[in-house]
Structure 1
Amino acid sequence: MAKVRITSTGTDFAHSVSSASGHQLTSDEPPALGGGNAGMAPFELYLAALASCTAITLRMYAQKKGWELGRFHAELESSRDADGNFQVHRTLHADGPLDDAQWARLLDVVERTPVTLVMKQGAAITSSRG
């Protein structure tokens, strides 16, 4: 499974995030929330995880089926409904020659990507002192 580490070295909100696989990024908050906008905000990272899994899963599926997905991108947006419930809407775009049946199948597959399932089902989160 995945493992990341976040390091805070100052009093601002910018943090260095590194993965066990050797990748790094910076997270921060926008100025309106007291940050310096040095990196993606936490909810942007949340959406980025879902978008990445969406793109990878659909590309893998299309290749397995021999479908030409072409240039693909997904737009994800989060919001809260009137009751305060968090919602994510995902819009998919591909310029490959996909017919309606193929699109229907891709929209079905995207509902079951690994990250989609964890986000929909929730995850047990525990904390401890190091």
Structure 2
Amino acid sequence: MADESNKKKIVHAHLPEDEQFTTTLTAGNHELLADEPTSVDGGKDKGPDPYDYLLMSLGTCTVMTVKMYANRKGWELGNTYMELRHNKQHDVDCENCDDPKSKIDVIEKELIIEGNLSDEQLDKLLDISKKCPVHRTLLGDIKIESSITQQ
């Protein structure tokens, strides 16, 4: 992953007027679909939902970061997988647990490594997995600047 911290990334999301939720996402030359599952009224399940994309972003960044580190160290790393889960649950010290708004988002990351690595190397890779740029972004201070334009 190249350091693009000073570059503005631009992606587009287009929800046509004749669609309920099916959205076309464009990033450079790449086009993807997002949708809601059929369990949501109007969802057609034509693509991952927005939280799936969030988890996929974190997962891809993590495995790429781990692979780069292992390559630099000359470690024999086989296939690398991430399994991610997202849910909402009450924080440990929840004061208003009866209030549904008191839940926090929890993302569970499981790094699955193939290869003949020592426990020390695996511990280091787990530590490195927490330093991928997307992981740090999600845990850092985020400022979202919103605007609207009518055409």
Q: Structure 1-normalised TM-score?
A: 0.94
Q: Secondary structure at the match of 2:68?
A: helix
Out of 106, 109, 113, the residue aligned to residue 94 of structure 1 is 113
Larger radius of gyration: 2
How many residues were matched structurally?
Answer: 129
Note if 1:74 corresponds to 2:100.
Answer: no
- How far residue 109 of structure 1 moved from its aligned partner, in angstroms, is 0.7
CA distance in 1, matches of 2:141, 2:23: 25
Task: Within 5 Å, give how 1:1-130 maps onto structure 2.
Answer: 1-9=8-16, 10-19=18-27, 21-34=28-41, 35-82=43-90, 83-130=102-149
Higher deviation after alignment, 44-53 or 3-12? 3-12
- How far residue 118 of structure 1 moved from its aligned partner, in angstroms, is 0.4
Higher deviation after alignment, 2-11 or 104-113? 2-11
The unaligned stretches of length 5 or more in structure 2 are: 1-7, 91-101
CA distance in 2, matches of 1:112, 1:45: 19
CA distance in 2, matches of 1:125, 1:104: 34
Q: Structure 2-normalised TM-score?
A: 0.82
Higher deviation after alignment, 52-61 or 3-12? 3-12
The unaligned stretches of length 5 or more in structure 1 are: none
- Structure-2 change in CA distance of 1:45 and 1:122 (3 Å): farther
4+ long deviations beyond 3 Å:
none
The one-letter code sitting in structure 2 at the alignment partner of 1:31 is T
- Residue by residue over 1:48-86, the C-alpha shift from the partner in whole angstroms, topping out at 9 and shown as x without a partner, is 000010011011111010011101111000111224100
CA distance in 1, matches of 2:35, 2:87: 20
Q: Secondary structure at the match of 1:32?
A: coil
- How far residue 108 of structure 1 moved from its aligned partner, in angstroms, is 0.8
